[in-house]
Amino acid sequence: MKRLLTLLALMLPVFSGAQNLTITHLSETHSMVRVSGKDRYVLLPIQETAQEAVVKVLSNGHEVYKANVSLAIDKTDYLVPLDLSPWNGSSILLDITMKQGRSVRRDPSDDVCWSEMTSSPVFDAGNKEKKYRPAYHFSPAWGWMNDPNGMVYKDGEWHLFYQWNPFGSFWGNMTWGHAVSRDLVQWEHLGAAIVPDALGDIFSGSAVVEDNQTQSIAYSLDNGRTFTKYAGNPVIMAEDTPDFRDPKLFWDNQTRQWKVVLAAGQEVQFYSSHNLKDWTYDSSFGLSYGNHNGVWECPDLIRLPFEGKDKWVLLLNINPGGPFGGSAPPPPAGWTTARTTMPPSPGATLRKAAPWPSRG
């Protein structure tokens, strides 16, 4: 028994990395990092060619965040910050599972990420790549970005939200990044506005400004600096509908209602609401019309005056299989799409609203 206990101790090396970090290797692929200080960030070393590791943030023993990160094995290409401020004052552990296959057994501490991982009170988000950045158009200080979302104007500021991977230069960890500008030229990067959770990643969407308070699936009471996810989520559900995505939200002055148009498999669906919480299914379009060679995504609905009357223009994107080529190549051979469920009946109320929290 004594020999067995000694062997187990050798399999669980513990060492101190940078200040305020204690790293324990539970196996060749599983490690724990205890954050003991009050620094805001843990700086994660990234290697572009490394397979992604799963990094879970545990706050007081509960998983509160998860991301896929290409932690450095042989060399560090750059550092990215993991912001711990949402869990300030709690006990923080990073539960890290490496996916890299190993051709030979070796000590997991040989991976360079463990010796170069550090905690820090600040992260220099200054643009160090000005030679490669657009002169006027926005780009995040680090990470990968995709669709811009939710451009709104409030109290002298333009707010831009966008799909963002804060942990690499490639698609993944879909988060809403946030930036503000007073002139649409100079931008202030504000970091993550809404992060993934158990309901899924944060993909395409839109934002609105309401006269009393921002009432959306995630709402803000401080001009978009922080967001709280609505306790009644999700407010619109579609069971077994593929690619139920990309809501475009707007206020319709004629009907005095909020409207949303979204992609639902091989059609678009239209919903209405008086309070942004209780949504009613109105209608759908497209199941028997148009191009069905790819995923229907990112719809928009615009009212335009034409010969003295208002006309509604529906915009839609298709990927892959766009009729004009470009960034939407033809679909693979044998690729098909199909809707698996019928939408709710017109006029159906989808769920009962939960109360909005007090402003305090």
Catalytic residue IDs: 147
Q: How far is CA 37 from CA 83, 89, 119, 121, 300, in A?
A: 13, 10, 8, 10, 47
Q: Which region holds residue 85: left if phi is over 0, alpha if psi is between -120 and 50, else beta?
A: alpha
SS3 state at 109:
helix
What values do phi and psi take at 85, rounded to 5? -60, -30
Helix residue spans in the chain (DSSP H): 2-11, 112-116
Q: Are 297 and 204 in contact (CB under 8 A)?
A: yes
CB atoms within 10 A of CB 111: 24
Using omega within 30 degrees of 0 as the cis cutoff, is the peptide bond preceding 320 cis? yes
SS3 state at 308:
coil
Structure tokens that stand for 20 in this block: 């305020």
Q: Are 274 and 328 in contact (CB under 8 A)?
A: no
Q: Give the integer Cα–Cα distance in Å for 143 and 10.
A: 38
CA 217 to chain centre: 14
Of the candidates 260, 265, 213, the residue with the CA atom closest to the CA atom of residue 239: 265
